[in-house]
Structure 1
Amino acid sequence: MASIKLVLRTQQEDGTGQSPIYIRLIKDRKAKFVTTGVKAKASEWDDEKQRLKKNYPNSARMNAFLTQKVADAQAQVADVERTRKSVSARKLKEAIKGKEDPNFFNYCDRRLEKIKSIVSYRTADIYNIYIKKFEKFIGHRDFYFSDINTTLVGDYANYCKKTLKNGNTTTHMSLKILRIFYNDAMKEELIPYAVSPFEKVKIPKSNVERQYLNKQQLEDLENLDLSQKPHAVVHRDMFLFSVYAGGLRISDVLLLQWKSYNEETKKITKVIQKTQKQHTFKIGTKAVEIINKYKPKNSNPDAFIFPVLENPERIFGDEQFKSLKLRGKIRLGDVHLDKMGEEIKLPFKLHFHLSRHTFATNALNNGMRIEYVSKLLDHSSIRQTQVYAKIVSEELDNAVDNFIF
């Protein structure tokens, strides 16, 4: 038999000192809460009698309203329990509200299918990975939006950090993806619009030091003898091309076709893999020299500039195939780059993404305006680019400390 009572949830107190009054339903030791739409201050509520005190405005009328709410809830619960041998607290809550509580994982599955035509395959795949990660934490799929609260979100954050040994950045992303789907459900009016429980759990972002190659290290990489390693030569050229072509992401370097490059204007025009937006920019002399190394006498406009990927028709016609191929080629290239980094004695692990850091930091060091760097990196906000400006500023501080006396 389920128990029902009115409670003032003071942990949800708002800026005016008022807290919401809920109908609390307990079945098989599981509690569910249904809002009454009424708020009161702690000093205006009698918890023992489950009534508003006389100091509450129009207390008699409001108490009559709350009494009716409880009576209606008890009647709904009695009807359901009478017609069903076994019923959960969630189902009883649905009966009281008169509205179905959506299954969280089923909603995420449907939502993922919808957004696949909007975001890249890789982005949708990442979303799915994080949803499956949360499902593993819950342990089953019989999980509903009403089951999500601040305590559960906090427990999941602790699970990510302590059990999975995730850093702050990964834990933050784990919650961020869930918050996106939760907020989407509110926008679709599938669940009541309220402050998301994800907003109340704050995970500080880790201050990860961004590595990059300085001018001397870049020169060492360019001069490294790879005559016996032809595949490594291509991966080095792709890394250097990215550095000298505005920090173009490695996935876009791999997918770069001859038809995307205008030899006369020295400009590249292509749809960026991550953002799916068209990006046009001019490349520098060193980037042009690298491209010219791979130009055949009779080039096919659809062919890839760097001889790593094949079959452009299938690559661009099958998003899943493209994603798998890109990941495999990037991993292989990172293996070669790591060995090169060891040979030139870099104090950090060399991989493709450092080409973007290298371009941005050196461009700012050379005096390029941050707005231009941001545009070339295809950042959605200049705030993303300011991370590199901070690195340059810190280097300047160190220079002052070391050389001015």
Structure 2
Amino acid sequence: MATVKIVLRKNYRKKDGTFPIALRLTQYRKSKFLFTGEYILEKDWDETKGLAKKSCLNSSRLNNMLLKKVSEAHEMALEMEASEEKQSVSTLAKKILGEDKFDFFKVSEIFLANLLKRKKFDQHYNQEKRLKIFNTFLRRKKLSFIDLDVRLLRGFETFLLYERKVAPRTVINYLMLIRTIYNFARKEYQVDDRNYPFGKGKIQIKFPETEKIGLNVYEVQLLEMAQNLTLAQQNAVNTWLTSFYFAGIRVGDILKLKCSDFKDDRLYYRMGKNNKLVSLAVPDKAKRILNPYTSVKNYKSDLVFPYLKGINLRDEKQVAISVKTITRNLNRRLEIVAEKLGIEKRLSMHIARHSFGNISGDKIPIQMLQKLYRHSSITTTVNYQSNFMHKETDDALEKVINFD
């Protein structure tokens, strides 16, 4: 027979320090957790009794509700046992839940807390902002999964595209987040999926092709020779060129570079995205840019660029937030520089990576590009580089139309 116990789910912690209270169903050594929708501080929870302590506000009401839920779950478990049909713990969970009783935003809070637990601070920052915008669109604090239908999501798409002027590719990111949370609820809480709004004939998530345009050689040379810039603008250009010279090293990694990362004319650093260790020769052009920054440092542990100075680098969440703010400021300065130099393409820190791809073209073997990009799969490199390699198609076009 299945056993039912009230437990505190310490895997998920809300910002206010409370943890969700759940029913743990165990059947044939397999367990499922059904969230009650109630939260409590750990100091107010009696682990042995599986109930709230008297120190918890409204503890009597909460405990009565929890005991009632346990009683109902036990009764349903007995009914299923009497049916003489072997039932899984998932089936029992669905029986107890009945119709969908979970709120989308309560589940999303647990989803976000899980990101923090896995130290996905950058992802947490982005997804939390998107959920707040979804909440703004709804103009209500609760949303049952039954009400989360195709019509509502179509309205949200329109809201993003025409009221907030969000790019179509970014709209996809919002829909992916909602789908991820819905699937999370289906798996973890046995949310009824009869009204699932995604799939064939419903909301289908298809990524539009993105235009990746990097700078050409002439435009990079304009940056290299730029004059009459403010100190802040010149620092932004130097940061961009450093990224470009090292095959498009990501801005988060550039900002965390230390003097000690350079040894014997090589750069050694660990990528923030996948924790890979990278070693690259330091080009002469990079040495000329980096020397003014590294020669005045007192300690090898000093940061090369000063942007994160004063930030506790061990506080990964604070670093992730700071990197976003710094990147926005760098991009604003780069836009001003581009206007001064007559560069009509959009100039940002990320474009350094695209510029390297654009200029490399088919000049070096794809396997070497894979190493420089630090891609795990060569397929990723081929797909990425296809945005910049046009020689074959250009030649083919010329052969067809050049019939004079």
Q: Tell me: higher relative CO, structure 1 or 2? Use CA pairs within 8 A at least 6 residues apart.
A: 2
Please give the residue correspondences for 1:144-293 in structure 2 after superposition, counting only pairs within 5 Å. 144-192=144-192, 196-199=196-199, 200-226=202-228, 229-259=230-260, 261-264=261-264, 266-272=266-272, 275=273, 277-285=275-283, 286-293=285-292
Is the CA contact 2:100–2:146 (under 8 Å) kept in the aligned structure 1?
Answer: no
Between the aligned partners of 2:337 and 2:150, the Cα distance in structure 1 is 47
Between the aligned partners of 2:181 and 2:169, the Cα distance in structure 1 is 19
Task: Tell me the CA shift for residue 100 of structure 1.
Answer: 5.8
Between the aligned partners of 1:254 and 1:358, the Cα distance in structure 2 is 19
Task: Tell me the CA shift for residue 392 of structure 1.
Answer: 3.1
Task: Tell me the CA shift for residue 355 of structure 1.
Answer: 0.3
Is the CA contact 1:241–1:290 (under 8 Å) kept in the aligned structure 2?
Answer: yes
Match among 394, 401, 404 for residue 398 of structure 1: 394
Structure 1 partner of 2:314: 317
Task: Tell me the CA shift for residue 402 of structure 1.
Answer: 5.8
After superposition, the C-alpha distances for 1:230-287 in whole angstroms (9 at most, x for unaligned) are 332222111111111121111211111123x242261322241xx2523313144133
SS at match of 1:342: helix
Between the aligned partners of 1:194 and 1:282, the Cα distance in structure 2 is 53
Is the CA contact 2:150–2:197 (under 8 Å) kept in the aligned structure 1?
Answer: yes
Structure 1: state its 5+ residue gaps. 1-93
Between the aligned partners of 1:209 and 1:330, the Cα distance in structure 2 is 21
Letter in 2 for 1:240: L
Q: 1:221 to 1:150 in 2, by over 3 A?
A: same
After superposition, the C-alpha distances for 1:186-214 in whole angstroms (9 at most, x for unaligned) are 22143246794223312543433222111
Q: 1:356 to 1:111 in 2, by over 3 A?
A: same
Between the aligned partners of 1:375 and 1:129, the Cα distance in structure 2 is 34
Over aligned residues, Cα RMSD in angstroms? 3.0
- Whether 1:118 and 2:118 are equivalent positions in the alignment is yes
Please give the residue correspondences for 1:6-405 in structure 2 after superposition, counting only pairs within 5 Å. 98=98, 101-192=101-192, 196-199=196-199, 200-226=202-228, 229-259=230-260, 261-264=261-264, 266-272=266-272, 275=273, 277-285=275-283, 286-296=285-295, 299-311=298-310, 314-369=311-366, 371-379=367-375, 382=378, 384-398=380-394, 401=397, 405=402
Is the CA contact 1:246–1:283 (under 8 Å) kept in the aligned structure 2?
Answer: no
Is the CA contact 1:183–1:196 (under 8 Å) kept in the aligned structure 2?
Answer: no
Structure 2 partner of 1:34: none
Task: Tell me the CA shift for residue 165 of structure 1.
Answer: 3.3
Between the aligned partners of 1:295 and 1:95, the Cα distance in structure 2 is 65
Is the CA contact 1:171–1:203 (under 8 Å) kept in the aligned structure 2?
Answer: no
Letter in 1 for 2:212: R
SS at match of 2:389: helix
Between the aligned partners of 1:206 and 1:384, the Cα distance in structure 2 is 17
Is the CA contact 2:115–2:121 (under 8 Å) kept in the aligned structure 1?
Answer: no
Between the aligned partners of 1:119 and 1:364, the Cα distance in structure 2 is 36
SS at match of 1:198: coil
TM-score w.r.t. the length of structure 1 is 0.66
Between the aligned partners of 1:138 and 1:381, the Cα distance in structure 2 is 41
SS at match of 1:393: coil
Q: 1:383 to 1:101 in 2, by over 3 A?
A: farther
SS at match of 1:340: helix
Between the aligned partners of 1:381 and 1:131, the Cα distance in structure 2 is 32
Between the aligned partners of 2:388 and 2:148, the Cα distance in structure 1 is 43
Aligned residues: 305
Between the aligned partners of 2:193 and 2:265, the Cα distance in structure 1 is 52
Is the CA contact 2:122–2:321 (under 8 Å) kept in the aligned structure 1?
Answer: no
Letter in 2 for 1:391: N
Between the aligned partners of 2:140 and 2:130, the Cα distance in structure 1 is 15
Identity of aligned residues (%): 21
Q: Which moved more, 1:129-138 or 1:262-271?
A: 262-271
Letter in 2 for 1:277: N
Is the CA contact 1:161–1:168 (under 8 Å) kept in the aligned structure 2?
Answer: yes
Letter in 2 for 1:361: N
Is the CA contact 1:168–1:203 (under 8 Å) kept in the aligned structure 2?
Answer: no
Between the aligned partners of 2:96 and 2:119, the Cα distance in structure 1 is 38
Between the aligned partners of 1:330 and 1:376, the Cα distance in structure 2 is 23
Task: Tell me the CA shift for residue 173 of structure 1.
Answer: 0.9
SS at match of 1:347: coil
SS at match of 1:282: strand
SS at match of 1:269: strand
Letter in 1 for 2:245: Y
Letter in 2 for 1:316: L
Is the CA contact 1:266–1:288 (under 8 Å) kept in the aligned structure 2?
Answer: no
Is the CA contact 1:279–1:378 (under 8 Å) kept in the aligned structure 2?
Answer: no
Between the aligned partners of 2:364 and 2:387, the Cα distance in structure 1 is 14
Q: 1:390 to 1:119 in 2, by over 3 A?
A: same
Letter in 2 for 1:346: I
SS at match of 1:234: helix
TM-score w.r.t. the length of structure 2 is 0.67
Q: 1:380 to 1:187 in 2, by over 3 A?
A: farther
Between the aligned partners of 2:109 and 2:385, the Cα distance in structure 1 is 40
| Pair member with larger Rg | 1
SS at match of 2:257: coil
